[in-house]
Amino acid sequence: MDFNVQSTTPIYIQIAEWLENEILADRLLPNGKVYSQYQLAEIFNINPATAGKGLTILVEKEILYKKRGLGMFVIVDAKQRILATRRSETLTQLAMEIVQEAKRLAVSDEDLIQLIKHIQKEG
């Protein structure tokens, strides 16, 4: 995989997202060892510090944990945590966009709620 250097998303974020995707695809398993920052740097031809920053994000999000002297490992419920976070973030972002568009179109809160209820019944 090559990282999108044209993207406004920093490479270390792209590394964290790639690792999350590997967990979601069951290529990195619970309690399984994760690539080191040096392995990631070599694989993706990036600076080890950049790769390390991506790993640190996942430690802070409690997706990975460190074993001193052994490396990084996947937390047991990492897949569920990633799914919950992505669902929450995605739905929040979509809801914000819908609310903003409804305001631009002068759709009342009540009409918007009724529209959502109607769509739920249809779907």
For residue range 48-63, list pLDDT tens digits in order. Answer: 999 999 999 999 999 9
Q: Report the distance separating Cα 76 and Cα 71, nearest Å.
A: 16
pLDDT for the residue numbered 47: 95
Q: Which residue has the higher pLDDT, 90 or 119?
A: 119
Q: What predicted TM-score, i.e. pTM, was given to this entire model?
A: 0.76
pLDDT for the residue numbered 5: 66
* pLDDT for 74 beyond 90: yes
pLDDT band at 90 (very low <50, low <70, confident <90, very high): confident
Q: Report the distance separating Cα 46 and Cα 18, nearest Å.
A: 14
Average pLDDT taken over every residue of the chain: 93
List the beta bridge partners of residue 67: 71
